Amino acid sequence: MMGERAHIVIAGGGMIGGAAALVLGRAGCRVSLLEPAPQPGWPTDSPPAAYGTRVCAISLASVALLQQLEVWPRVVAQRVSPFRGMQIWSGDPGQALHFDSAELGQPELGFIVENDLLSAVLWEALGNLPEVTHLQTALCGMTKPRSPGSEIKVRCSDGVEISADLLIAADGARSLGRILGGFASHWRDFGQSALVARVETTEPHQETAYQRFLAGGPLAFLPLADGSSSIVWSQPRAEAEARMRLLEAAFRDELQAAFGNTLGAIGQVGPRSVFPLMRQHADRYEQPGVLLLGDAAHSVHPLAGQGVNLGFADIRALQSLIAEASGSWCRDSSLLRRFGRQRRAENSCMIAAMEGLKALFSRPDQPRSVLISKGLGLVDQIAPLKRFFISRAGGVI
Ligand SMILES: Cc1cc2nc3c(=O)[nH]c(=O)nc-3n(C[C@H](O)[C@H](O)[C@H](O)COP(=O)(O)OP(=O)(O)OC[C@H]3O[C@@H](n4cnc5c(N)ncnc54)[C@H](O)[C@@H]3O)c2cc1C
The angle formed by the CA atoms of residues 216, 219 and 221, to the nearest 5 degrees, is 175
Closest residue by Cα to atom 35, ligand 1, is 12
- Is pLDDT at 1 greater than 60 in this prediction? no
Percent of the chain with pLDDT over 90: 69
Q: How far is it, in rounded angstroms, from Cα 237 to Cα 191?
A: 6
Helices 15-26/307-324 angle, 10° precision: 20
Q: If pLDDT is split at 50, 70 and 90, which confidence band does 2 have?
A: very low
Q: Read off the pLDDT of each residue in 362-390 and give the average, rounded to a whole number.
A: 55
Q: What pLDDT was estimated at residue 70?
A: 96
Closest CA to 229 of 237, 243, 242, 219: 219
Among 100, 101, 57, residue whose Cα is nearest residue 81: 57
DSSP one-letter code for 96 = -
Q: What is the pLDDT of residues 261-302, one digit of tens each?
A: 999 999 999 999 999 999 999 999 999 999 999 999 999 888
For ligand 1, atom 12, the nearest C-alpha belongs to: 307
- State residue 205's pLDDT score: 97
Distance from the CA of 170 to the center of ligand 1, in angstroms?
9
Using the mean position of ligand 1's atoms as its centre, give its distance from the Cα of residue 295 in Å: 6
CA–CA separation, 119 and 7 (whole Å): 23
Are 220 and 209 in contact by the 8 Å Cβ rule? The answer is yes
- With contact defined as beta carbons under 8 Å apart, do 148 and 166 qualify? no
pTM of the predicted model as reported, rounded to 2 decimal places: 0.92
Nearest Cα residue to atom 48 of ligand 1: 14
Does residue 37 sit within a domain?
yes
Residue pLDDT, tens place only, 207-239: 999 999 898 999 999 999 999 999 999 999 999
Instruction: Give the number of domains in the chain.
Output: 1
Ligand 1 contact, 40 CB (< 6 A):
no
Residue 219 in contact with ligand 1 by CB distance below 6 A: no
User: For residue 181, is it within any domain?
Assistant: yes
Q: Is residue 19 a part of any domain in this protein?
A: yes
Residue 304 pLDDT > 90 = no
Confidence class for position 39, pLDDT limits 50, 70, 90: confident
Cβ count near 271 (within 10 Å): 11
**Ligand 1 atom nearest to CA at 34:** 43
Host domain of residue 20:
7-47+116-186+279-356
Indicate whether 3 pLDDT > 50: no
- Judge contact between 30 and 189, C-beta under 8 A: no
- pLDDT band at residue 50 under the 50/70/90 scheme: confident
**Shortest-distance atom of ligand 1 to CA 295:** 26
Beta bridge partners of 134: 33
Work out whether the CA dihedral 328, 331, 23, 4 comes out positive or negative: positive
Atom of ligand 1 nearest to the CA of 194: 1
DSSP character at residue 51:
P
Q: Compute the mean pLDDT over every residue in the chain, rounded to the nearest whole number.
A: 89
Give percent of the chain above pLDDT 70: 89
In a domain, 148, yes or no: yes
Q: What angle do CA 52, 55, 58 make, to 5 degrees?
A: 145
Confirm or reject: Cβ of 18 under 6 Å from ligand 1. Answer: no
* pLDDT bracket for residue 364 (50, 70, 90): very low
For 6, list phi and psi in degrees, rounded to 5. -70, 150
Q: Indicate which CATH number applies to the domain containing 127.
A: 3.50.50.60
CB-ligand 1 contact for 375 (6 Å cutoff): no
Ligand 1 atom having least distance to the Cα of 275: 53
Rounded to whole angstroms, how far apart are CA atoms 31 and 20? 10
Residue 259 lies in a domain: no
In a domain, 39, yes or no: yes
In a domain, residue 264? The reply is: no
Are 109 and 84 in contact, with CB atoms under 8 Å apart?
yes
Considering the domain boundaries, does residue 125 fall inside one?
yes
* pLDDT at residue 195 greater than cutoff 60: yes
